[in-house]
Chain A
């Protein structure tokens, strides 16, 4: 069977060609999931600093709104509890498959994950603009297409979440806080619920 591959340099996650996207997933270490997301953000901080904050997984819930909790089980293994539509949660163990200090973290979910997923976070120098943080995530939509629509309705769609999470990471790293338009603690709690 012949594959239709892109002839350009555009990132695979932006490709209109299914084969291009599928082979980008296959290129991940221990790939899991069949839907591909690519999101980048430029952060005005050195990449070592950004990497260090991200590598301590217990920090991630400070900017990942839909992550309820991450238990760090060992240097390479962590347990994720993530909000899902209709007040439910989904859980999985994530295993680090590759790590280049200051540059890259790759992971894959362990057997039995509610939402099988894999991916990598890259930290690339962007000269006077700081660092480009690039997330490439493959995942299996919770309950097929319907699940994806429901997730979107509840704004838990992973592509939307990834973009927002990266923006919050940028806010936290650049300004020391996550911006909120709430004017009382009660309002902020309701927004984060």
Chain B
């Protein structure tokens, strides 16, 4: 089959590799019909995530048609399914509590060593996202092997297009969980750093959860326009001073809840950001964290900090003093996609949430390397690229 493989920083290629096979009873093989490039794929593309190996197949947002099933899969050939990016067994203690991203068993035993050493306890498996999270082949390919297929994939009802449901695989539940982690109370003002897909879904989710005002922060005008369409007020941090603006817009209080949907590759020429960048390049520190620092600084006393953004390593100058003195609460984590999928599918069916506005480009799997470069170089216009393995390559 054809698959998008990682070979190093800014080097991804479409290669011919072996077709996946059923290896365990609960497996299924999915023929991919749509798969998206995620903002967090750019962290891999930029070489920020350790434990990548040449030849790794990327992609953790995908859906398709069931073409083969193991003896204990509950899926049937021909069904259309969306697959969660978190690989969860459904039977361990954490899955029992719906903490699917903390599943004990989704990550192969040997790969759990890295997470155990780095984080104290190993993470669950994820598709196409380094060997830290299992080393599973991802879905930017013609086919993918899906373990625990009786627990993860959700069956798509007839009449819904791929584009309407694809984002159930990651970014819609991630935006929803981000808002949920902000413990929004009616009347709240919520500030969201980053108007990428997760930030934009967090904006929509925050309003659905009763936020009175949402303030969206970014520097890409097109992305800020999208946030505005969902009712958010905006701050362009290249034109305005974010902290000062937030304080004035909230009558000197600060936002009740803050959401960092930017993560480890914050853009912009802030002193701490440049220092972070130099340190990252020298491997003195791995994460660039301007947005989370600013979010904590702006958050009101006793407020809530939600951090859907991906961080992998260690940070310097984390404002622990502000955090303690103001009595803030932080909630974060990889998304427990399986927990949110059914309710969010219903929200889509009822027309409460629209996800298709996000897609700016559709292209062939063969053009994926071009897509990565485009997404990397132009985040104003490129909001989401969906790869369609069925499409012919553009000439």
- Chain A interface residues (CB < 8 Å from chain B): 42, 44, 65, 129-130, 155, 160, 163-165, 167-168, 170-171, 174-188, 191
**Interface flag for B147 (CB, 8 Å):** yes
Q: Which of B90-111 contact A (CB under 8 A)?
A: 90-93, 96, 104-111
Indicate if the CB atoms of B20 and A181 lie closer than 8 Å. no
Q: Which of B1-57 contact A (CB under 8 A)?
A: 18-21, 23-26
Indicate if the CB atoms of B20 and A180 lie closer than 8 Å. no
- Chain B interface residues (CB < 8 Å from chain A): 18-21, 23-26, 72, 89-93, 96, 104-113, 116, 125, 134-137, 144-145, 147-148
Which single residue of chain A is at the shortest CB-CB distance from B145?
A183
Which single residue of chain B is at the shortest CB-CB distance from A177?
B24
- Enumerate chain A residues within 8 angstroms of B109, measured Cβ to Cβ: 65, 164-165, 167-168, 171, 178-179
Indicate if the CB atoms of B72 and A176 lie closer than 8 Å. yes
Which single residue of chain B is at the shortest CB-CB distance from A41?
B104
- Known contacts being A171-B105, A177-B26, is A44 close to B96, with CB within 8 Å? yes
Indicate if the CB atoms of A164 and B89 lie closer than 8 Å. no
Q: How far is B89's CA from A175's CA once the two chains are assembled, in angstroms? A: 6
Indicate if the CB atoms of A176 and B104 lie closer than 8 Å. no
Complex partner residue of B111 from A181, A185, A186, CB under 8 angstroms: A181
Complex partner residue of A186 from B18, B112, B147, CB under 8 angstroms: B18
Question: What 10 additional pairs, Cβ within 8 angstroms, besides A175-B26, A175-B92, A181-B135?
Answer: A42-B93, A44-B91, A44-B96, A163-B113, A164-B113, A175-B90, A177-B24, A179-B125, A180-B108, A181-B111
Indicate if the CB atoms of A177 and B111 lie closer than 8 Å. no
A174 to chain B, nearest CB (A): 5
Indicate if the CB atoms of B137 and A183 lie closer than 8 Å. yes
- Enumerate chain B residues within 8 angstroms of A185, measured Cβ to Cβ: 21, 23
- Enumerate chain A residues within 8 angstroms of B148, measured Cβ to Cβ: 175
- Known contacts being A181-B108, A183-B145, is A175 close to B91, with CB within 8 Å? yes
Which single residue of chain B is at the shortest CB-CB distance from A42?
B93
